[in-house]
Amino acid sequence: MEKKEAQLQKRLRDGDRKALEQVYIQYKDAFVAYLSDRVIVRDQLEDLYQDTVVSLFQNFVLKQLELESSSIKTYLFAIGKNKAAAHFRGPQLVSREEIEPKEAIYQIEKENLSEEQLALKKAFERLSDSCRQLLRLHYYRGLTDKEIKKMTDYKDINTIKSSRSRCLKKLKSLIHE
């Protein structure tokens, strides 16, 4: 094991926050690149990285971990890979409350909206529940088609794409009525 690596591990075992910060900064870009094909939503990837670094730090401090045959980077990536796999393992069903926006979030003063925004809001309210749900998941929450498929009853990604396209066409026609 390299001397610098051994010193960094000792600092982590001692609970050194500067060592934690060093690890966080040093491996973030490589970690993001490594898992970007597994985790699509950037916010999720950043949350996953933070959780992973916290787990690494806890293992060093609480378990007095000593890595002899691997590096901090390898260990960090293994934790991240396992956390990503656990997060996406199996269907993740979401309750309607999680999909439907909270009323407080959408309480927008009418005088603050332009005519176009008001027309969009009215047209959106006239869409079917399934269209509103699909558009919210994709555009408001930023979910990918894969993630939407896991959360809903759509049979495949192509169905999601065509449904979203139909919903957008319907929304446009409602706006121009």
Give the global pTM: 0.50
* Whole-angstrom distance, CA of residue 73 vs CA of residue 95: 37
Provide CATH code, domain 96-175: 1.10.10.10
Residues 107-154: tens digit of each pLDDT: 444 456 678 888 888 888 898 888 988 888 888 788 888 888 888 878
H helix intervals, the chain:
3-13, 17-35, 42-63, 72-88, 96-99, 115-126, 129-135, 145-151, 157-175
* b/e burial code for range 128-146 (CB count within 10 A of at least 16 → b): eeebbbbbebbeeeebebe
* Whole-angstrom distance, CA of residue 10 vs CA of residue 36: 30
For the chain, where do the domains classified as CATH 1.10.10.10 start and end? 96-175
Provide CATH code, domain 3-88: 1.10.1740.10
For the chain, where do the domains classified as CATH 1.10.1740.10 start and end? 3-88
